[in-house]
Amino acid sequence: MRIYFGVLKMAEKKDEKYIKRMADMLRQGSALTDLSCPVCASPLLRLKDGTLWCAKDEKKVIVVKEGEEQAKVTSAMAMEELQKLSTALSDLLDNLEKIKKMKKS
C-alpha cells in the first residue's frame, strides 16, 4: 500500500510539470486543441506556426487525416530535412565565398 502511494505521488509530480509547461506555452500564444496525443492521450497544443505539440512528451505530433496517405507525412518530414540541409549548404557556400574573397584581397 505504501509503495503504491509512493508511485502515485511521483506520477502526480510529473503531471504537474507538464501542466506547468503547457500553461507556459499557452501564455506564449499557443492554443489548446481538441486533439489528443496518440502516445499519451493528453490534449495537444497548436503552436503559433501551426505545429501540433504534446507538452507531456515534448514532441511534435503529426496528425494523419483519414484517407490521407502516410507517404504524404513522410514526404513532409523529408521536405523539412531537405530545407534544413539546404540552409546548411547555403551557409557553407557563403563561407566559401568569404574565404575566396579574403584570399583575393
Q: Given the rule CB under 5 A, which residues bind Zn ion?
A: 37, 39-40, 54, 56-57
Residue nearest to Zn ion (CB): 37
Specify the residue, 59 or 98, whose C-beta has the smaller distance to Zn ion: 59
As measured in angstroms, the least distance from the Cβ of 41 to Zn ion is 7
Q: How is the beta sheet containing 59-61 ordered, strand by strand?
A: 31-36, 43-46, 52-54, 59-61
Q: Which residues contact 37 (CB under 8 A, 6 or more apart)?
A: 43, 44, 54, 56, 57, 61
Specify the residue, 23 or 40, whose C-beta has the smaller distance to Zn ion: 40
Specify the residue, 45 or 56, whose C-beta has the smaller distance to Zn ion: 56
As measured in angstroms, the least distance from the Cβ of 21 to Zn ion is 12
Cβ atoms of residues 76 and 65 within 8 Å = no
As measured in angstroms, the least distance from the Cβ of 73 to Zn ion is 17
As measured in angstroms, the least distance from the Cβ of 79 to Zn ion is 24
Q: How far is CA 90 from CA 1, 29, 39, 105, in A?
A: 61, 32, 37, 23
Specify the residue, 45 or 54, whose C-beta has the smaller distance to Zn ion: 54
